[in-house]
Structure 1
């Protein structure tokens, strides 16, 4: 008895007894069906949690990357002022001076004057609404998702000064490709005695790009800055300054320096202002999904209790004998704790493997689901991006593992304590 009391916790003989119980056949009072159910349940719950976290992380990363890679991090524009002619305007006449001052702000990587306008594009009787960005060729070359590393591209972006660059969705809607000509039509044309006549110009398509976002590819086109100034009657002016910064996630910290650079007439609109509500909705959804899936992990872990209670009941005679020969309550508790904890550890391990494999081969899985549904499983016109991304992060896996193991260990304690407190006399009374 004294030797038993001085035995170190989780000694070898405790592990041997626990493994013997786990290996025993059902008719010998070994692992019950409930234990197998809890093992499978924890595996699936942990896998679902990891897959969900990976998909949500990947979706957010892809969404933000496509925004930052094809749009201004900060748009600088002018407040309304009265011109010398007595009319109100927001045009920026000294855009070169503004751009130079903005480039001097620490953290700014590019400042490019833009002319913007909405037009109708037409080719062979097919029309599409397009938003035209007038930009200098050297500035276009620095846009990551358009010129540097687009998802797909056709044509030669170095020929941009000779024609027009359009998104792949615009090209598809109009049925054109590189080398074709399209007309762009603006209702804000020349004013005559008979009213305002539309302005129409033809341009050769020299470059087609896919930025990875459905809405951008379907509506965007780029014209050389001077051509856009002429077409939109913006001679000597720009509509806004497109600013790219070194750390887009910290763009709010640059608001005051940017405003100070351009003076009291300047105003700004950041990418967070444009997409912040959607990103906040994603964060809330992430938290809700984590809570829901955590409940699933808890339900799966609770099955350990059922299986362990059945194991304790079947091993009542063994518990009485072990207590009689000198095992302490602590040793009995640890034996059955090991039995339950092993189920949690194995379920968690299998869940991590299954979740990681699913997230790694998400494209193949989605293709299979798409095939089963006959297509349309992922609609980019609704979700904005073209594919379901998944990004495995160590912190997400650690959260899933910690949650699963923590719940498994906690729920295991209760039936293990019941076994430890079993009276050996009562356990052997009818044996």
Structure 2
């Protein structure tokens, strides 16, 4: 008896192989269980890919929104005086703004106080004093006014507060807010904290909880007066008032030399922080400490980056588990189709052809799940805020409360390179998961498989 020559391999991925693989994946009454397992595996891959796309998009949007809000109010640099007294802040701001690459230099004063309304308890607030010219440069603040207006800001004695702070204090435009500063070190007597009342001129909504809940803006000079950001200098020809002189006589004998807390510096290219820092240090006369936004918020953004990396790894496990499910479902399919494999071999199918048939079946599950997850993830990521608002209204509680997550809405920004990487990883794992079951199918001995049929 002569050995029959082995059949020639028809080449990779013939139409016959696609037809057989597609037939094996379609559910029939006898092998419905295997097809259900394959469908669940496809669903697992789709959910994993969709979850990765949605999470990375939300994390990207969250980071971008936080940075844009921070840099919308706080500069790329904060310039602090090396000496304690920053009385030449106007000259320094003019020199800084003249530096190439600097868009704006905004002097400000800052302090803390307890704010209270007529109908609400006191709450902590951060006071910032800025001029109208500075407000116009802060587009986020200027355009964020939802009630009131900025007209006559410098000449008035009003304040601007965030929407959430206004809700806490139960105040509206024209209502009075009383500020109590715990710092009494600047007072001549040193005995009482400063307490003054100011009308609400503007209510703003910046979309960031920290700013809308705690920040309170005042015109620059009233803020300097309230926070006592000035030095008293005896007027020429005046004598030092006696100890028992009243406050008005004491004030009349002195001139006030106002000072600022720092200068916020905004630059055209956020990636040129180091080069711009060097230019500012070389071209201005006054020695200043320049603290950039990365240094000021380093711990916060490090925590965000770590959180994003950990979430990516954890959610990637969904895709890995689904890839293992491809292995198990293909092994079950190989066991179920043992007789069919033997028949195909006796009809001339090569080991390579059998391997490709089951490889096509496995890759089809992986590719189908990946594409389904891609579409689902992109749709959810594009409508993240609408879905969050809908679910919050249906469930009756706030999902992603702004008090915890800083932002009043759920931002989303899809990065095409990250999406491509997620799709490539999912398809790569799906391909690798098919290799072992397809190889096992190709090793089937047709004689052993048909012995008991």
TM-score, normalised with respect to structure 1: 0.89
Alignment-derived partner of residue 148 in structure 2: 155
Q: 2-side partners of 1:426 and 1:191: how far apart?
A: 100
Question: 1:385, CA displacement in angstroms?
Answer: 1.5
Structure 2: gaps (5+ residues):
231-256
Alignment-derived partner of residue 86 in structure 1: none
Alignment-derived partner of residue 321 in structure 2: 299
Q: 2-side partners of 1:260 and 1:125: how far apart?
A: 53
The answer (yes or no) to whether the contact 2:207–2:409 under 8 Å persists in 1 is no
- Go from structure 1 to structure 2 and tell me whether the alpha carbon gap of 1:191 and 1:43 turns closer, same or farther (over 3 Å shift): closer
Q: Is structure 2 residue 435 aligned with structure 1 residue 413? A: yes
- Go from structure 1 to structure 2 and tell me whether the alpha carbon gap of 1:303 and 1:69 turns closer, same or farther (over 3 Å shift): same
The answer (yes or no) to whether the contact 2:115–2:123 under 8 Å persists in 1 is yes
Alignment-derived partner of residue 118 in structure 2: 124
Q: 1-side partners of 2:11 and 2:201: how far apart?
A: 77
Comparing 156-165 with 238-247, greater Cα deviation is found at: 156-165
Question: Residues 19-418 of structure 1 correspond to what in structure 2 (within 5 A)?
Answer: 19-27=22-30, 31-80=34-83, 90-124=84-118, 126=120, 127-148=122-143, 150=144, 153-161=146-154, 162=156, 163-186=158-181, 187-188=183-184, 191-192=187-188, 195-233=190-228, 234=230, 235-263=257-285, 265-371=287-393, 373-418=395-440
The answer (yes or no) to whether the contact 1:120–1:184 under 8 Å persists in 2 is yes
- Go from structure 1 to structure 2 and tell me whether the alpha carbon gap of 1:189 and 1:317 turns closer, same or farther (over 3 Å shift): closer
- Go from structure 1 to structure 2 and tell me whether the alpha carbon gap of 1:20 and 1:267 turns closer, same or farther (over 3 Å shift): same
Q: 2-side partners of 1:2 and 1:279: how far apart?
A: 67
Question: 1:297, CA displacement in angstroms?
Answer: 0.7
**What is the Cα-based RMSD across aligned positions, in Å?**
2.5
- Go from structure 1 to structure 2 and tell me whether the alpha carbon gap of 1:29 and 1:262 turns closer, same or farther (over 3 Å shift): same
Q: Please give the per-residue CA displacement for 1:306-327, whole angstroms capped at 9, x wherever unaligned.
A: 1111211222222222222222
Q: 2-side partners of 1:135 and 1:13: how far apart?
A: 76
Q: 2-side partners of 1:275 and 1:245: how far apart?
A: 18
- Go from structure 1 to structure 2 and tell me whether the alpha carbon gap of 1:284 and 1:4 turns closer, same or farther (over 3 Å shift): farther
- Go from structure 1 to structure 2 and tell me whether the alpha carbon gap of 1:264 and 1:2 turns closer, same or farther (over 3 Å shift): farther
Comparing 358-367 with 411-420, greater Cα deviation is found at: 358-367
- Go from structure 1 to structure 2 and tell me whether the alpha carbon gap of 1:224 and 1:26 turns closer, same or farther (over 3 Å shift): same
Larger Rg: 2
The answer (yes or no) to whether the contact 1:159–1:206 under 8 Å persists in 2 is no
Question: Residues 5-24 of structure 1 correspond to what in structure 2 (within 5 A)?
Answer: 5=8, 7-24=10-27
Aligned to 2:258, what secondary structure does the other structure show? coil
Q: 1-side partners of 2:271 and 2:258: how far apart?
A: 33
Q: 1-side partners of 2:101 and 2:186: how far apart?
A: 42
Q: 2-side partners of 1:291 and 1:28: how far apart?
A: 35
Q: Please give the per-residue CA displacement for 1:234-257, whole angstroms capped at 9, x wherever unaligned.
A: 233222111111233543443333
Alignment-derived partner of residue 235 in structure 2: none
The answer (yes or no) to whether the contact 2:126–2:215 under 8 Å persists in 1 is yes
Q: 2-side partners of 1:252 and 1:61: how far apart?
A: 21
Q: Please give the per-residue CA displacement for 1:142-188, whole angstroms capped at 9, x wherever unaligned.
A: 2132113x3x6211123423322222222222222122233334453
- Go from structure 1 to structure 2 and tell me whether the alpha carbon gap of 1:6 and 1:196 turns closer, same or farther (over 3 Å shift): same
Q: Please give the per-residue CA displacement for 1:324-362, whole angstroms capped at 9, x wherever unaligned.
A: 222221111111100111111111112122222322332
Question: 1:141, CA displacement in angstroms?
Answer: 1.2
Question: 1:392, CA displacement in angstroms?
Answer: 2.3
Question: 1:371, CA displacement in angstroms?
Answer: 3.9
- Go from structure 1 to structure 2 and tell me whether the alpha carbon gap of 1:409 and 1:232 turns closer, same or farther (over 3 Å shift): same
- Go from structure 1 to structure 2 and tell me whether the alpha carbon gap of 1:125 and 1:37 turns closer, same or farther (over 3 Å shift): closer
Aligned to 1:113, what secondary structure does the other structure show? strand
Q: 2-side partners of 1:370 and 1:30: how far apart?
A: 38
Q: 2-side partners of 1:28 and 1:132: how far apart?
A: 72
Q: 1-side partners of 2:94 and 2:226: how far apart?
A: 25
- Go from structure 1 to structure 2 and tell me whether the alpha carbon gap of 1:320 and 1:29 turns closer, same or farther (over 3 Å shift): farther
Comparing 294-303 with 378-387, greater Cα deviation is found at: 378-387
Q: Please give the per-residue CA displacement for 1:376-405, whole angstroms capped at 9, x wherever unaligned.
A: 433322222123322222223212211211
Question: 1:189, CA displacement in angstroms?
Answer: 7.9
